[in-house]
Amino acid sequence: MESPNCKVSERISLNYHLFHRAKAANDLRHLILDISRAAKYVSYEIQTSESDLAGGTNTSGEEQLKLDVFNSGHLIYKHLAVCYLFFGNKTEAQRALEKSLDLKSDYFETHYLLGSLLIKENDLKSADLEFSIVLEKVPEHIGALANRAVVAIRQSHFDAARKYLIQLSGLDMKDHELYNVLGELCTRIKEFRLAINFYENYLQRNPQRIDVLNNISSCYAQLGNYQAAILGYQSVLEMEPVNELARENLVALGRHLQNHSSPDLKEAILFASPSYKMAARIA
């Protein structure tokens, strides 16, 4: 008798299901895959004894594959730390990262994660140590350099912060938002030329960000380059005529120029900037 043509249930990967069927957001999909991977590692650790990992033959005389699961224990704890952080359990996340480092002390990604966690806990000295270990392994690690700048600023070590920010200015940021963040850090320590460099890099990629153009204009004003500042604020008002910050800054510049600038400079700027005259109400 002919066998019935029975369909076999379709077997798909978790990643395929999350991406194509569940339409999960990328961050959520990656998190679920990390949790799944961590669970597998933990399962292997529990189910496999050290003797099983040594190779050889089983009771049926079959060759056993030599596994290296125990050497990946640091990855298990790293993945678990990510899970704990997702659920807001910083204490357990820190313990997991410390266990990961006990197993593999030179794994720089774990040092970076631990440093990021310690910053949130305001343990700045310990955080800085973790980032310094990362930079010993990867001297141009953008995240570690940026975080060391943050730590230095929060400790009022502005010369150190300046050094890290200058180093970052020569690196290409895959995450363009970092240009804006680094510009803000430079502004906080009054490194306005460096801030302009970061902001302009960001603006090239996001030309409609009026707030960043306002920031660039304010940096020029702080450097005494009033023409560049005024042109920047004018550009903001052309894109958004009701922008209150640009208008207020133009008014402030008008008062400053009236009180401190030479008549020739003041006249040249006002003549070239009719919208500035309107904003500042200078006839």
| pTM strictly above 0.75 | no
User: Residue 276 CB: number of other CB atoms within 10 A?
Assistant: 23
5-14, 82-91, 266-275, range with greatest mean pLDDT: 82-91
Q: What is the predicted pLDDT for the residue at 272?
A: 47
Mean per-residue pLDDT of the chain: 78
Distance CA 255, CA 63 (A): 86
pLDDT at 69 over 60: no
Residue 109, pLDDT above cutoff 80? yes
Model confidence pLDDT, tens digit, residues 28-63: 787 777 777 666 655 554 444 444 444 455 454 545
* 81 vs 198, residue with greater confidence: 198
Residue 28 has what pLDDT? Answer: 78
**Two structure tokens written together for 249:** 């800054």
Torsional class of 89: left (φ above 0), alpha (ψ -120 to 50), beta (otherwise): beta
Q: Is 197 helix (H, G, I), strand (E, B) or coil?
A: helix
* Least-confidence region, from 19-28, 79-88, 104-113, 129-138: 79-88
Radius of gyration of the chain (CA): 28
Task: Please answer whether residues 83 and 34 qualify as being in contact, where contact means their C-beta atoms are separated by less than 8 angstroms.
Answer: yes
Specify the 3-state DSSP secondary structure of 63: strand
State the Cα–Cα distance between residues 101 and 111, nearest whole angstrom. 8
Please give the pLDDT value at position 1: 45
- 215, 187 Cβ separation under 8 angstroms: yes
* pLDDT score of 266: 56
* 283 token code pair: 């006839």
Residues shown for the chain: 283
Please, which pLDDT band fits residue 220 given cuts at 50, 70 and 90?
A: very high
Structure tokens at 78: 């790293």
Q: Which two tokens stand for residue 181?
A: 């963040």
Burial of 42 (0-12, 13-18, 19+ CB in 10 A): middle
Look at 50 and 234; give whichever has higher pLDDT: 234
